[in-house]
Amino acid sequence: MKYSILNLALSFLMLFAVNGLSAQNKDTETDKTSYGFNSKIEIPVTPVKDQHRSGTCWSFAATSFLEAELLRVTGDEYDLSEMFFVRYSYENKAIDYVRRHGKANFSPGGQAHDAFDVIREYGMVTEKGYPGLTKGEEKHNHSELDAVLSGFVSAVVQNKGRRLSEVWFDGFRALLDVYMGPVPEDKSKEFVEVRKFNPDDYVELTSYNCYEWYEKVNLQIPDNWSYSSYVNVPLDEMMEVINYAFENGFSVCWDGDVSSRGFSHRNGVAIVPEEKVDNMAGTEQSRWEAIPASERADKLYAFEGPVPEQQIDDDARMEVFANYTSTDDHLMHLTGVVEDHAGNIYYKTKNSWDTDSNEMGGYLNMSEAYVRLNTVAIMVHKDAVPKHLQKKFGL
């Protein structure tokens, strides 16, 4: 395959940047990597943001995906408020939790469709219109907020033997106002109205053979707290959708697992090697930002590559889903396709751990095998589904 001079230059720069990680910890034998990438497809997207110490990856991924869609549809770049979607999702989760007498999931987590549900009811607002920052904080830190909200709804439902008050929800919203700020009332200023955008034009797909193929299923994961439906399709067809989407100018909102030992955001690569890899996985709880500076050198694990990867089929996916090896612990935004120097395909992935979280500006490349094994669900525009599959999927 022929590459442009620019691509070759970028490839050498990437090799230099990634290989340079080993210099930061020369005493660690495993701290080395020989990955280098050439871009094949690049979808225009907005800058990387930082969820910081909040469990709101679902909103950052969905918002990044939304911004890319608005850029594709309108040609205009928007900076949407992630916390606007988070705020109203908190409210909806609280109502569901209380109505189910506490027998439901109440946590910061969520799914891409949660943002779209908010859009249907409340619309979208810019980051300037609703930053959602706690007073005194420069970045999102929800440690106290999450504990306070969880404690509040738990107290409401545990008040057994007494009639539920008429003001509990007012109290809940007052807490959100204090910690995140009130939602702006003037919709003429910072609210975003895009006539060409329709939230119903998007579909979520999953792929597990414990469900019937081509049926809409209630995906049984904790963060699907709204019990929304996903179209269940065979793995090869889900991958066909992902590839078709990129070939036709669409990006993909990705939900999956990043706890695998083959996942290294710090080094910008996620793989499923045939042989065991001595590597530390990255999750929202163990993200680079949370590692004390004094300990970071010991956390710079990596691996040589490219290495042979496992062949992943529907049965392999089902096994890791059933035994909790692969869970829905993180959402990110797939924004392109790259190729390593051995010709293997990876998906360029925009994370929400800020631009300084690794040497790739907050991006990483997940191998085809990694995506096949660890994807829990994806969201795409309906037009990103090949026409011969749309009927199968009921679209």
As a whole number, mean pLDDT of residues 263-281 equals 78
The 10s digit of each residue's pLDDT in 379-393 is: 999 999 999 999 999
Alpha carbon distance 259, 263 (integer Å): 7
Q: What is the pLDDT of residue 63?
A: 98
Confidence class for position 4, pLDDT limits 50, 70, 90: very low
Kindly give the interhelix angle for 82-99 and 143-158, rounded to the nearest 10 degrees: 20
- Establish if 289 belongs to a structural domain: yes
Alpha carbon distance 388, 23 (integer Å): 50
- Report the share of the chain in percent with pLDDT over 90: 73
- Establish if 23 belongs to a structural domain: yes
Q: What is the pLDDT of residue 301?
A: 36
Task: For residue 281, report the phi and psi dihedrals to the nearest 5 degrees.
Answer: -80, 160
Q: What is the pLDDT of residue 31?
A: 37
Which among 67, 91, 7 has a CA at the least distance from the CA of 338?
7
Integer Rg of the chain from CA:
21
In this predicted structure, the answer to whether residue 12 has a pLDDT above a threshold of 90 is no
Q: At 106, which amino acid appears? A: F
Q: Which domain holds residue 154?
A: 5-390
Contact 255, 329 (CB under 8 A): no
All residues at 6 or more sequence positions from 235 whose CB lies less than 8 Å from its CB, including other chains: 207, 312, 313, 314, 317, 372
Task: For residue 41, report the phi and psi dihedrals to the nearest 5 degrees.
Answer: -140, 135
As a whole number, mean pLDDT of residues 181-204 equals 86
- Establish if 70 belongs to a structural domain: yes
Confidence class for position 195, pLDDT limits 50, 70, 90: confident
The 10s digit of each residue's pLDDT in 94-106 is: 999 999 999 999 9
Q: What is the pLDDT of residue 276?
A: 65
Q: What is the pLDDT of residue 246?
A: 98
Q: What is the pLDDT of residue 119?
A: 95
The 10s digit of each residue's pLDDT in 57-78 is: 999 999 999 999 999 999 999 9
The 10s digit of each residue's pLDDT in 288-340 is: 344 444 443 333 334 566 888 999 999 999 999 999 999 999 999 999 999 99
| Number of domains within the chain | 1
Q: What is the pLDDT of residue 299?
A: 36
Alpha carbon distance 343, 103 (integer Å): 49
Confidence class for position 278, pLDDT limits 50, 70, 90: low
In this predicted structure, the answer to whether residue 207 has a pLDDT above a threshold of 80 is yes
Q: What angle do CA 257, 262, 264 make, to 5 degrees?
A: 85
- Establish if 243 belongs to a structural domain: yes
Q: At 258, which amino acid appears? A: V
- Establish if 51 belongs to a structural domain: yes
The 10s digit of each residue's pLDDT in 14-32 is: 333 333 332 223 232 333 4
For position 90, which CATH number holds? 3.90.70.10
All residues at 6 or more sequence positions from 241 whose CB lies less than 8 Å from its CB, including other chains: 205, 233, 378, 380, 384, 385, 386, 389
In this predicted structure, the answer to whether residue 153 has a pLDDT above a threshold of 90 is yes
Q: 306 or 54, which is more confident?
A: 54
Q: 294 or 48, which is more confident?
A: 48
Q: What is the pLDDT of residue 307?
A: 84
Q: Which tokens go with 124? A: 């979208």
Alpha carbon distance 256, 207 (integer Å): 12
In this predicted structure, the answer to whether residue 247 has a pLDDT above a threshold of 60 is yes
In this predicted structure, the answer to whether residue 2 has a pLDDT above a threshold of 80 is no
- Establish if 158 belongs to a structural domain: yes
- Report the share of the chain in percent with pLDDT over 70: 83
Q: What is the pLDDT of residue 150?
A: 97
- Establish if 137 belongs to a structural domain: yes
Which among 141, 145, 92 has a CA at the least distance from the CA of 114?
92
Q: What is the pLDDT of residue 303?
A: 53
Q: What is the pLDDT of residue 295?
A: 40
- Establish if 395 belongs to a structural domain: no
In this predicted structure, the answer to whether residue 6 has a pLDDT above a threshold of 50 is no
Which among 251, 292, 238 has a CA at the least distance from the CA of 62?
251
Report the mean per-residue pLDDT for the chain. Answer: 86
Alpha carbon distance 236, 240 (integer Å): 6
Q: What is the pLDDT of residue 32?
A: 41
Q: Which residue has the tokens 């890319």?
A: 68
